[in-house]
Amino acid sequence: MGPQADAAMLRKVVWASTIGNVLEWFDFTVFGLFAPTIGKQFFPRSDATAGLLAAYGLLGVAYFARPIGGIAFGVWADRVGRKRALITVVLSMAVGTAAIGLAPTYATIGVWAPILMLAARLIQGFSAAVILALRRRC
């Protein structure tokens, strides 16, 4: 490939990485902005403050899952290849996001609602750091 093809490929990679990063952080930002609503819908309504704190706790859980996901997927990516790992991680991030969007509320399924939300946030957090790491190496 010539210098123009390399430059075009670099532009494509930069744009794809930028779009992916913006979408990833958009998800985290929206969850944080809607934490009061999430607290009311996914936790018992006995104490609004406790529900709000629990919702922000769910936001924080994703940050704690990042290093674990980075280690696990990093080792796996070394074995199967970066491209395959990146595709798997992006799909798992989509699954976590869809689970949050489709999750029934506390009024519908009771205590399973916050458990489902926790699982979805863990999946998202597990995937988030890996997306950043793998994008830089692909």
Return the CATH number at 119.
Answer: 1.20.1250.20
Q: How far apart are CA 96 and CA 37, in angstroms?
A: 19
CA–centroid distance for 100 within its chain: 10
Q: Report yes or no: 85 and 131 within 8 Å, Cβ to Cβ.
A: no
The per-residue pLDDT for 75 is 85
The per-residue pLDDT for 42 is 93
Domain with 126, as residue range(s), is: 3-137
Q: Which residues, including other chains, have CB under 8 Å from residue 66's CB and lie 6 or more apart?
A: 125, 126, 128, 129
Write the burial class of residue 74 (CB in 10 Å: 0-12 exposed, 13-18 middle, 19+ buried).
middle
Q: How far apart are CA 28 and CA 63, in angstroms?
A: 10
Q: How far apart are CA 118 and CA 61, in angstroms?
A: 8
Confidence check: pLDDT of 136 > 70 = no
Lowest mean pLDDT among 2-6, 34-38, 70-74, 125-129: 2-6
CA angle at 98 for the pair 96 and 101, rounded to the nearest 5°? 115
Provide the domain count of the chain. Answer: 1
112-137 and 82-102 helices cross at what angle (nearest 10)? 150
Q: How far apart are CA 26 and CA 87, in angstroms?
A: 19
Q: What is the DSSP letter of 34?
A: T
pTM for the whole structure: 0.78
pLDDT digits (tens, 9 = 90+) for 39-63: 999 998 788 899 999 999 998 898 8
pLDDT digits (tens, 9 = 90+) for 57-97: 998 898 888 888 888 888 888 888 877 887 888 788 889 88
| Average pLDDT of the residues of the chain | 83
The per-residue pLDDT for 33 is 92
- Tell which residue, 39, 41, 42, 61, has the closest CA to residue 124: 61
